[in-house]
Each structure stands twice: as C-alpha cells, then as structure tokens.
Amino acid sequence: MKRIVIADDSATARMVIRRCLEIIGLGEADMVEAPNGREALNRLKEEPTDLLVTDLNMPVMDGETLLKWVKGSPRLTDLPVVIVTSAGNPAKEVELTTIGAFAVLNKPISPATLLKTLEPLMQ
Amino acid sequence: MMADRLNQVVGQAIAVTLENMAFMEIAPVQADTEVPTSDNGMMARMLVLEPFQGEVQLAATTALLRNVIEVVHAFPDEAVVEAMLSDMLGELLNTIGGRLLTEYLPESQSYRLGLPEVGWDLPDCSEGQSRAWNLQIEDQGLVLTLVGDGFFAG
C-alpha cells in the first residue's frame, strides 16, 4: 500500500491507528491524517489512495457520511474503507458493510486485529 | 447480579483500553494513590444519547495522562501541551465508553454517544443514579463515573 488516509477527530486516535499500521508492516506507506470526514474527502481527491481508515463519530462530516460519499463517487468507490469506532455493535456493523465498508473494528484496535482485517488487501 | 455485571464490564473496558493503547495495567486504588482533582487532573464527560439518557465521566491525573501520551505518541514529557492532555483524556473516554456499552447492552441493541467534552466546570446534563469506580494505573488515579438510571436498570 502506497497511501493511506486516516480520519479521526482525535490526534491520539490517529496516532494509535498509525502505530498499528506501522507495526503490521505498512510503515512505508504515506499516511495522511484528517480531523473529520470532509478533510478526509479532500485528501482522497488529491491523489490515488489505497486505504481509508476512519472513525464514525466526528464533527463536520461523520464517518458514515464519508463512507456514503466515497461509495457514491465513481472515482473512489473501489477504495477499501475500514471503520474504527467506539460506537460499534452488530446492527451497526451490518448497516455499514451494506453501505460498502470493508470492515468495522471496535476501539481500542490492536495490531493483531488490524493485520487479520487487512491481510487480504496486503497480498 | 446486575451490579456484578456492571463491575465486570467497567473493569474490562478500562483494562482493555489502557492495555491496547498504552500497554498499561489497572489495579484497585490504594491508600497512597494520587486521586484526580481539579488541581492535579482533568475530567471529561460524554453523553449517552441512545438507548437511554446518561453520561460517562472520566477523570485522570495529568501525570497519568502524560505517561500515556509518552507511550502512545513517543513524546518526551516536556513536549506535552494541554491540548494533547485533553485529546488523550477525550479519546480514552470515547473508547472506554463505547466498549462499555458494547459489552453491557444486548448484542442487537444499538446506541449513540455524544462527543467527549473536557472540563471540570461543565454543566450537569444528566440525572438519575450514579456510581464511581476508582482505579489506579502506575500509582496514578483514574475515576470512571456512570450517571443515568439506564446503567442501573434491571
């Protein structure tokens, strides 16, 4: 993976995600951070991106809206989107995967969970 | 029974969060643990919007927050500024609160949380029963408080 966009309103959460990505061997990717969905969308439009990791609960534009915009864009629709959230449950997971999320992970994430999730994309 | 389950869920939510984020272990509070106050610590609140109205509050000493930041961000202590302390406390609350509700509510029950707000003087929004859990991490205190009858129903 060459470029990964990480969207979360918390700098701490973005750092935790970044660290996990580094630990599982994606440290060489260009990791671009965004504090909300709208900023993330702008970053996604700048350059081709291989993965979007986003929180759900964010100001300005939340993660679910971001997911809908990505999946509704002919240019971005194939982008794998991993949702990392503190407000996940089976019902929400089904809803988000129906919209097109590649995976929904509950916070706090661990490198092992992230590796298992991203393995199919890393091969 | 319900109180036992809540105890277990609260303990687990805090333990898993601190362990995964900062490789830290929690322990029951000791007599010499430094308890967070407005002088030595910070407090964050987050509303539970659905399926009931409630609030999750988290208070921690700034010394503990600095330790966690040092691990997560690999920042030297002197580079830590107040905004980072607030962000760290907010993210800890967000993660612990979400994990707690995921484990505590029935599997099919969805829920909605507000955004964390940091400050000791925020107005009280929630009413009803409340309970606090006092814990320690590396000699520093952490207090989690749940407010709202929904947490204690059943």
**Average pLDDT for runs of 10 along chain A of length 123:** 95 92 94 97 96 94 96 96 88 91 93 94 84
Q: Using omega within 30 degrees of 0 as the cis cutoff, is the peptide bond preceding A108 cis?
A: yes
Which of A36, A107, A109, A114 best tests the B interface by mutation, with the highest count of B CBs <10 A?
A107
Of A15, A16, A106, the CB nearest to B102: A106
Instruction: Compute the distance between CA of residue B42 and CA of residue A14 in angstroms, rounded to an integer.
Output: 21
Mean pLDDT of B67-90: 83
Reduced to 3 states (helix: H, G, I; strand: E, B; else coil), residue A54 is strand
Confidence check on the interface: ipTM exceeds 0.85, yes or no: no
The CATH number for A3-116, chosen from 2.40.50.660, 3.40.50.2300, 3.40.50.300, 3.55.40.20, is 3.40.50.2300
Residue B27 has pLDDT above 90, yes or no: no
A-chain residues within 8 Å CB-CB of B101? 87
Chain A residues whose C-beta is within 8 A of a chain B C-beta are 9-13, 15-16, 19, 57, 59, 85-92, 106-110
Minimum CA–CA partner of B85 in chain A: A12
pLDDT per position as a tens digit, A85-103: 988 778 888 999 999 999 9
**pLDDT confidence band for B154 (50 / 70 / 90):** low
pTM over 0.80: yes
Q: How many CB atoms lie within 10 A of CB A98?
A: 8
Of A15, A16, A89, the CB nearest to B109: A89
> How many CA atoms, within 13 angstroms, populate the side-chain half-sphere of residue A104?
21
B-chain residues within 8 Å CB-CB of A15? 72-73
Owner of token pair 């659905």 = B50
Residue B80 or residue A10, greater confidence? A10
Residue A49, Cβ density class (10 Å: 0-12 exposed, 13-18 middle, ≥19 buried): buried
Domains of chain B: 2-151 (3.40.1550.10)
Chain B residues whose C-beta is within 8 A of a chain A C-beta are 16-17, 20-21, 69, 72-73, 84, 87-88, 90-91, 94-95, 97-99, 101-102, 105, 107-113, 115
